[in-house]
Protein backbone atom coordinates (compact mmCIF):
# COMPACT_ATOMS: atom_id res chain seq x y z
CA UNK A 1 0.00 0.00 0.00
CA UNK A 2 1.15 3.49 -0.79
CA UNK A 3 2.25 5.67 2.08
CA UNK A 4 2.52 9.34 2.83
CA UNK A 5 6.06 10.56 3.39
CA UNK A 6 6.33 13.09 6.21
CA UNK A 7 9.52 15.08 6.59
CA UNK A 8 10.13 16.92 9.84
CA UNK A 9 13.88 17.26 9.99
CA UNK A 10 15.98 19.75 8.08
CA UNK A 11 17.96 18.39 5.19
CA UNK A 12 18.09 17.71 1.52
CA UNK A 13 15.65 15.67 -0.52
CA UNK A 14 16.59 14.48 -3.98
CA UNK A 15 16.22 11.86 -6.62
CA UNK A 16 18.70 9.02 -6.50
CA UNK A 17 18.17 6.52 -9.27
CA UNK A 18 14.55 5.62 -9.06
CA UNK A 19 14.09 6.42 -5.40
CA UNK A 20 13.50 9.43 -3.26
CA UNK A 21 16.53 10.10 -1.09
CA UNK A 22 16.48 12.21 2.04
CA UNK A 23 19.57 13.21 3.95
CA UNK A 24 19.60 15.03 7.25
CA UNK A 25 21.76 15.19 10.35
CA UNK A 26 19.70 12.27 11.61
CA UNK A 27 20.77 10.05 8.76
CA UNK A 28 20.00 8.91 5.25
CA UNK A 29 16.74 7.49 4.04
CA UNK A 30 15.66 5.92 0.77
CA UNK A 31 11.99 5.79 -0.08
CA UNK A 32 10.78 3.80 -3.09
CA UNK A 33 8.78 6.03 -5.39
CA UNK A 34 6.21 3.29 -6.06
CA UNK A 35 5.24 3.25 -2.40
CA UNK A 36 4.83 6.98 -2.12
CA UNK A 37 1.41 8.52 -2.21
CA UNK A 38 2.25 12.13 -1.38
CA UNK A 39 4.87 14.10 0.57
CA UNK A 40 4.30 16.53 3.42
CA UNK A 41 7.28 18.71 4.24
CA UNK A 42 7.50 20.42 7.63
CA UNK A 43 11.26 20.80 7.98
CA UNK A 44 13.62 23.18 6.23
CA UNK A 45 14.29 21.12 3.17
CA UNK A 46 16.21 21.94 0.05
CA UNK A 47 15.29 20.31 -3.23
CA UNK A 48 15.94 20.73 -6.92
CA UNK A 49 14.08 20.68 -10.21
CA UNK A 50 15.26 17.17 -10.99
CA UNK A 51 13.32 15.95 -7.97
CA UNK A 52 10.24 17.90 -9.03
CA UNK A 53 10.45 16.34 -12.50
CA UNK A 54 10.69 12.93 -10.91
CA UNK A 55 7.68 13.60 -8.68
CA UNK A 56 5.81 15.00 -11.65
CA UNK A 57 6.40 11.83 -13.67
CA UNK A 58 5.22 9.73 -10.78
CA UNK A 59 2.22 11.92 -10.08
CA UNK A 60 3.14 12.74 -6.50
CA UNK A 61 1.79 15.87 -4.82
CA UNK A 62 4.01 17.68 -2.30
CA UNK A 63 2.58 19.91 0.43
CA UNK A 64 4.76 22.46 2.21
CA UNK A 65 4.29 23.82 5.72
CA UNK A 66 6.24 26.64 7.34
CA UNK A 67 8.15 26.54 10.58
CA UNK A 68 4.97 27.14 12.59
CA UNK A 69 3.12 24.31 10.90
CA UNK A 70 1.00 26.60 8.72
CA UNK A 71 0.30 25.46 5.18
CA UNK A 72 2.32 27.34 2.57
CA UNK A 73 1.37 25.67 -0.68
CA UNK A 74 1.62 22.56 -2.78
CA UNK A 75 3.56 21.24 -5.71
CA UNK A 76 0.64 20.03 -7.77
CA UNK A 77 2.08 18.08 -10.71
CA UNK A 78 0.81 18.55 -14.23
CA UNK A 79 -2.73 17.23 -14.49
CA UNK A 80 -2.63 13.63 -15.63
CA UNK A 81 -6.36 13.08 -15.74
CA UNK A 82 -7.84 15.50 -18.18
CA UNK A 83 -11.42 15.65 -19.19
CA UNK A 84 -12.57 18.89 -20.76
CA UNK A 85 -16.07 17.62 -20.23
CA UNK A 86 -15.70 17.40 -16.45
CA UNK A 87 -14.12 20.86 -16.20
CA UNK A 88 -17.02 22.34 -18.18
CA UNK A 89 -19.51 20.60 -15.90
CA UNK A 90 -17.70 21.87 -12.83
CA UNK A 91 -17.63 25.42 -14.20
CA UNK A 92 -21.29 25.16 -15.18
CA UNK A 93 -22.20 24.26 -11.61
CA UNK A 94 -20.16 27.19 -10.38
CA UNK A 95 -21.48 29.80 -12.79
CA UNK A 96 -25.14 28.84 -12.45
CA UNK A 97 -26.01 30.37 -9.07
CA UNK A 98 -28.85 27.93 -8.42
CA UNK A 99 -26.67 24.93 -9.13
CA UNK A 100 -23.81 26.38 -7.11
CA UNK A 101 -25.97 27.12 -4.08
CA UNK A 102 -27.46 23.64 -4.26
CA UNK A 103 -24.00 22.08 -3.99
CA UNK A 104 -22.76 24.57 -1.40
CA UNK A 105 -25.72 23.64 0.81
CA UNK A 106 -24.79 19.98 0.53
CA UNK A 107 -21.34 20.64 1.94
CA UNK A 108 -22.71 22.64 4.85
CA UNK A 109 -25.43 20.08 5.47
CA UNK A 110 -22.87 17.25 5.46
CA UNK A 111 -20.61 19.18 7.82
CA UNK A 112 -23.48 19.84 10.25
CA UNK A 113 -24.64 16.22 10.19
CA UNK A 114 -21.13 15.05 10.98
CA UNK A 115 -20.75 17.66 13.72
CA UNK A 116 -23.92 16.28 15.31
CA UNK A 117 -22.51 12.74 14.98
CA UNK A 118 -19.39 13.80 16.87
CA UNK A 119 -21.50 15.39 19.61
CA UNK A 120 -23.74 12.34 19.88
CA UNK A 121 -20.68 10.17 20.25
CA UNK A 122 -19.68 12.17 23.31
CA UNK A 123 -23.25 12.23 24.63
CA UNK A 124 -23.09 8.43 24.57
CA UNK A 125 -19.99 8.79 26.74
CA UNK A 126 -21.85 10.88 29.29
CA UNK A 127 -21.01 14.42 28.19
CA UNK A 128 -23.84 16.92 28.71
CA UNK A 129 -24.10 18.12 25.14
CA UNK A 130 -27.83 17.72 24.52
CA UNK A 131 -28.49 21.42 24.61
CA UNK A 132 -25.78 22.19 22.07
CA UNK A 133 -27.05 19.48 19.74
CA UNK A 134 -30.51 20.97 20.03
CA UNK A 135 -29.27 24.46 19.24
CA UNK A 136 -27.47 23.15 16.17
CA UNK A 137 -30.43 21.03 15.10
CA UNK A 138 -32.63 24.14 15.34
CA UNK A 139 -30.35 25.98 12.95
CA UNK A 140 -30.15 23.12 10.47
CA UNK A 141 -33.40 23.95 8.58
CA UNK A 142 -32.08 27.42 7.79
CA UNK A 143 -29.48 25.80 5.51
CA UNK A 144 -32.12 24.75 3.04
CA UNK A 145 -33.70 28.19 2.89
CA UNK A 146 -30.46 30.14 2.53
CA UNK A 147 -30.71 32.28 -0.59
CA UNK A 148 -27.07 32.97 -1.28
CA UNK A 149 -23.68 31.43 -0.63
CA UNK A 150 -22.83 34.38 1.66
CA UNK A 151 -25.99 33.76 3.64
CA UNK A 152 -25.10 30.08 3.84
CA UNK A 153 -21.60 30.87 5.07
CA UNK A 154 -23.12 33.01 7.82
CA UNK A 155 -25.39 30.17 8.94
CA UNK A 156 -22.45 27.82 8.91
CA UNK A 157 -20.43 30.23 11.04
CA UNK A 158 -23.31 30.40 13.47
CA UNK A 159 -23.52 26.63 13.76
CA UNK A 160 -19.78 26.39 14.17
CA UNK A 161 -19.90 28.84 17.10
CA UNK A 162 -22.37 26.58 18.91
CA UNK A 163 -20.22 23.59 18.06
CA UNK A 164 -17.13 25.23 19.52
CA UNK A 165 -19.06 25.73 22.76
CA UNK A 166 -18.92 21.98 23.14
CA UNK A 167 -15.12 21.79 23.06
CA UNK A 168 -14.61 22.66 26.72
CA UNK A 169 -17.29 20.16 27.74
CA UNK A 170 -15.74 17.38 25.67
CA UNK A 171 -12.16 18.08 26.67
CA UNK A 172 -12.55 18.89 30.38
CA UNK A 173 -8.89 19.64 30.83
CA UNK A 174 -8.01 22.99 32.36
CA UNK A 175 -4.77 23.11 30.41
CA UNK A 176 -6.76 23.07 27.21
CA UNK A 177 -9.46 25.66 27.59
CA UNK A 178 -11.01 27.06 24.49
CA UNK A 179 -12.14 30.66 24.37
CA UNK A 180 -13.45 31.12 20.89
CA UNK A 181 -11.78 30.50 17.59
CA UNK A 182 -8.63 32.47 16.84
CA UNK A 183 -6.69 31.86 13.68
CA UNK A 184 -3.71 33.89 12.60
CA UNK A 185 -2.07 33.30 15.00
CA UNK A 186 -3.97 30.84 17.21
CA UNK A 187 -4.18 32.29 20.71
CA UNK A 188 -4.25 29.07 22.67
CA UNK A 189 -3.41 25.40 22.42
CA UNK A 190 -6.82 24.21 21.20
CA UNK A 191 -6.81 26.78 18.45
CA UNK A 192 -3.32 25.73 17.47
CA UNK A 193 -4.52 22.14 17.19
CA UNK A 194 -7.62 23.06 15.21
CA UNK A 195 -5.60 25.10 12.72
CA UNK A 196 -3.03 22.38 12.28
CA UNK A 197 -5.58 19.61 12.01
CA UNK A 198 -7.68 21.53 9.48
CA UNK A 199 -4.71 22.14 7.23
CA UNK A 200 -3.93 18.42 7.26
CA UNK A 201 -7.48 17.61 6.20
CA UNK A 202 -7.25 20.25 3.45
CA UNK A 203 -4.07 18.82 1.97
CA UNK A 204 -5.31 15.24 2.03
CA UNK A 205 -8.45 16.33 0.19
CA UNK A 206 -6.27 18.15 -2.32
CA UNK A 207 -4.10 15.08 -2.88
CA UNK A 208 -7.19 12.99 -3.48
CA UNK A 209 -8.63 15.54 -5.92
CA UNK A 210 -5.42 15.23 -7.91
CA UNK A 211 -6.31 11.62 -8.64
CA UNK A 212 -9.70 12.49 -10.06
CA UNK A 213 -10.84 14.51 -13.06
CA UNK A 214 -11.98 17.37 -10.85
CA UNK A 215 -10.27 20.75 -10.89
CA UNK A 216 -9.28 21.80 -7.35
CA UNK A 217 -9.60 25.48 -8.26
CA UNK A 218 -13.35 25.35 -8.72
CA UNK A 219 -15.05 25.17 -5.34
CA UNK A 220 -18.74 25.78 -4.69
CA UNK A 221 -19.08 26.81 -1.08
CA UNK A 222 -15.69 28.47 -1.00
CA UNK A 223 -15.42 31.02 -3.75
CA UNK A 224 -13.12 30.38 -6.61
CA UNK A 225 -10.72 33.26 -6.64
CA UNK A 226 -8.93 32.48 -9.86
CA UNK A 227 -5.80 30.88 -8.51
CA UNK A 228 -6.18 29.16 -5.13
CA UNK A 229 -7.38 25.67 -4.46
CA UNK A 230 -10.90 25.77 -3.09
CA UNK A 231 -12.67 22.50 -3.91
CA UNK A 232 -10.58 20.75 -1.26
CA UNK A 233 -11.87 23.24 1.32
CA UNK A 234 -15.46 22.32 0.39
CA UNK A 235 -14.89 18.59 0.65
CA UNK A 236 -12.91 19.04 3.87
CA UNK A 237 -16.01 20.51 5.56
CA UNK A 238 -17.51 17.04 5.60
CA UNK A 239 -14.44 15.33 7.00
CA UNK A 240 -13.11 17.93 9.44
CA UNK A 241 -15.47 16.93 12.28
CA UNK A 242 -15.11 13.17 11.93
CA UNK A 243 -11.41 13.00 11.10
CA UNK A 244 -9.79 16.16 12.47
CA UNK A 245 -11.90 17.17 15.45
CA UNK A 246 -12.40 13.66 16.76
CA UNK A 247 -8.64 13.27 16.65
CA UNK A 248 -8.08 16.52 18.56
CA UNK A 249 -10.37 15.32 21.36
CA UNK A 250 -8.76 11.93 21.44
CA UNK A 251 -5.12 13.13 21.56
CA UNK A 252 -5.89 15.49 24.41
CA UNK A 253 -8.10 13.14 26.38
CA UNK A 254 -5.61 10.30 26.03
CA UNK A 255 -2.76 12.61 27.03
CA UNK A 256 -0.87 12.07 23.78
CA UNK A 257 -0.61 15.81 23.20
CA UNK A 258 0.42 17.75 26.30
CA UNK A 259 1.03 21.43 27.04
CA UNK A 260 4.75 20.75 26.63
CA UNK A 261 4.13 20.16 22.93
CA UNK A 262 3.38 23.81 22.28
CA UNK A 263 5.44 26.94 22.09
CA UNK A 264 4.74 30.64 22.04
CA UNK A 265 5.51 32.17 18.69
CA UNK A 266 4.25 35.04 16.56
CA UNK A 267 2.24 36.44 19.49
CA UNK A 268 0.32 33.21 19.56
CA UNK A 269 0.66 29.54 20.33
CA UNK A 270 1.77 26.85 17.91
CA UNK A 271 2.70 23.19 18.13
CA UNK A 272 6.40 22.55 18.51
CA UNK A 273 8.21 20.00 16.40
CA UNK A 274 7.47 17.09 18.70
CA UNK A 275 3.83 18.14 18.91
CA UNK A 276 3.48 18.32 15.15
CA UNK A 277 5.13 14.93 14.75
CA UNK A 278 2.88 13.27 17.30
CA UNK A 279 -0.25 14.77 15.85
CA UNK A 280 0.69 13.88 12.28
CA UNK A 281 1.44 10.32 13.31
CA UNK A 282 -2.00 9.96 14.89
CA UNK A 283 -3.59 11.68 11.92
CA UNK A 284 -1.93 9.25 9.53
CA UNK A 285 -3.19 6.33 11.61
CA UNK A 286 -6.68 7.71 11.51
CA UNK A 287 -6.63 8.06 7.72
CA UNK A 288 -5.72 4.40 7.43
CA UNK A 289 -8.49 3.31 9.78
CA UNK A 290 -11.09 1.37 7.88
CA UNK A 291 -14.82 1.08 8.22
CA UNK A 292 -17.19 -1.28 6.50
CA UNK A 293 -18.75 0.54 3.58
CA UNK A 294 -22.41 -0.32 3.20
CA UNK A 295 -22.76 0.14 -0.53
CA UNK A 296 -19.37 -1.18 -1.59
CA UNK A 297 -19.65 -4.08 0.81
CA UNK A 298 -16.00 -3.93 1.81
CA UNK A 299 -13.77 -2.09 4.24
CA UNK A 300 -12.58 1.32 3.14
CA UNK A 301 -10.19 3.70 4.87
CA UNK A 302 -11.04 7.29 5.73
CA UNK A 303 -8.73 8.33 2.92
CA UNK A 304 -10.72 6.19 0.48
CA UNK A 305 -13.91 7.72 1.83
CA UNK A 306 -12.62 11.09 0.67
CA UNK A 307 -11.97 9.69 -2.79
CA UNK A 308 -15.45 8.15 -2.90
CA UNK A 309 -16.89 11.52 -1.95
CA UNK A 310 -15.19 13.02 -4.99
CA UNK A 311 -16.65 10.34 -7.22
CA UNK A 312 -20.11 11.10 -5.87
CA UNK A 313 -19.49 14.74 -6.63
CA UNK A 314 -18.47 13.85 -10.19
CA UNK A 315 -21.66 11.89 -10.62
CA UNK A 316 -23.64 14.90 -9.49
CA UNK A 317 -21.79 17.16 -11.92
CA UNK A 318 -22.42 14.92 -14.91
CA UNK A 319 -26.09 14.82 -13.97
CA UNK A 320 -26.18 11.18 -13.09
CA UNK A 321 -26.94 11.07 -9.41
CA UNK A 322 -27.76 13.77 -6.89
CA UNK A 323 -24.89 14.21 -4.45
CA UNK A 324 -25.52 13.23 -0.84
CA UNK A 325 -22.65 13.97 1.52
CA UNK A 326 -21.09 11.25 3.57
CA UNK A 327 -22.50 11.15 7.09
CA UNK A 328 -20.87 8.92 9.67
CA UNK A 329 -23.23 6.24 10.94
CA UNK A 330 -21.39 5.30 14.09
CA 172 to chain centre: 25
Residue 148 or 289: the one with the smaller Cβ distance to another protein is 289
Site string for another protein, 205-244 (x = CB under 8 A): ------x-x-------------------------------
> Quick check: helix, strand or coil at residue 36?
strand
State residue 87 phi and psi, 5-degree precision.
-60, -40
> Contact between 32 and another protein (CB under 8 A)?
no
CA 117 to chain centre: 18
User: Which one among 14, 265, 274, 307 touches another protein, defined by CB under 8 A?
Assistant: 307
Residue 81 or 145: the one with the smaller Cβ distance to another protein is 81
> Contact between 83 and another protein (CB under 8 A)?
yes
CB-based contact 198:192 (threshold 8 Å): no
State residue 72 phi and psi, 5-degree precision.
-100, -50
Measured CA to CA, the distance from residue 139 to residue 118 in angstroms comes to 17
**Which residues contact residue 161 at a Cβ distance below 8 angstroms, ignoring those fewer than 6 apart?**
none
**Minimum distance, C-beta of residue 248 to another protein, in the bound complex (Å):** 28
> Contact between 324 and another protein (CB under 8 A)?
no
User: Which one among 184, 320, 329, 330 touches another protein, defined by CB under 8 A?
Assistant: 320
**Minimum distance, C-beta of residue 83 to another protein, in the bound complex (Å):** 4
Which helix H or strand E contains 72, and what residues bound it?
A: strand 71-75
Residue 100 or 312: the one with the smaller Cβ distance to another protein is 312
User: Which one among 35, 82, 144, 290 touches another protein, defined by CB under 8 A?
Assistant: 82
Measured CA to CA, the distance from residue 207 to residue 236 in angstroms comes to 12
> Contact between 67 and another protein (CB under 8 A)?
no
Residue 232 or 314: the one with the smaller Cβ distance to another protein is 314
- Distances from the Cα of 102 to the Cα of 110, 152, 329, angstroms: 13, 11, 23
**Minimum distance, C-beta of residue 67 to another protein, in the bound complex (Å):** 34
Give one word for 63, left, alpha or beta, with left for phi > 0 and alpha for psi -120 to 50: beta
Find the part of the chain contacting another protein (CB under 8 A) among 115-123, 142-150, 187-195, 305-313: 305-313
Question: Site size for another protein, by CB under 8 A?
Answer: 22
Q: Which of residues 281-300 bind another protein (CB under 8 A)?
A: 295-296
Measured CA to CA, the distance from residue 234 to residue 94 in angstroms comes to 13
Find the part of the chain contacting another protein (CB under 8 A) among 19-27, 75-83, 111-119, 268-276: 75-83
Measured CA to CA, the distance from residue 270 to residue 287 in angstroms comes to 23
User: Which one among 17, 25, 78, 84 touches another protein, defined by CB under 8 A?
Assistant: 84
Residue 52 or 318: the one with the smaller Cβ distance to another protein is 318
Q: Count H helices and E strands in the chain, helices first.
A: 11, 12
Measured CA to CA, the distance from residue 244 to residue 283 in angstroms comes to 8
Find the part of the chain contacting another protein (CB under 8 A) among 182-190, 192-200, 231-239, 301-309: 301-309
Measured CA to CA, the distance from residue 17 to residue 276 in angstroms comes to 31
Residue 88 or 95: the one with the smaller Cβ distance to another protein is 88
User: Which one among 196, 241, 314, 328 touches another protein, defined by CB under 8 A?
Assistant: 314
CA-based R_g, the chain, Å: 20
Residue 159 or 243: the one with the smaller Cβ distance to another protein is 243
CB-based contact 190:171 (threshold 8 Å): yes
- Contacts to another protein by CB under 8 A: 80-86, 211, 213, 295-296, 304, 307-309, 311-312, 314-315, 318-320
Amino acid sequence: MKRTLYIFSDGEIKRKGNTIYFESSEGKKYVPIENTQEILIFGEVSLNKRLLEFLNENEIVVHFFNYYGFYIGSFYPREHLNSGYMILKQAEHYLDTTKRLRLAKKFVWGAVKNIIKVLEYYIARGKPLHEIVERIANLEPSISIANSVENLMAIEGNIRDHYYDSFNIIIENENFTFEGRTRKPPKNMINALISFSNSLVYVVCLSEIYHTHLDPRIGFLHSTNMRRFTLNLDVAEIFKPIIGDRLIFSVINKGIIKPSHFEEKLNGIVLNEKGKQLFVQEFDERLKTTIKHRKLGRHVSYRELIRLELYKLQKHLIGEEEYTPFVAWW
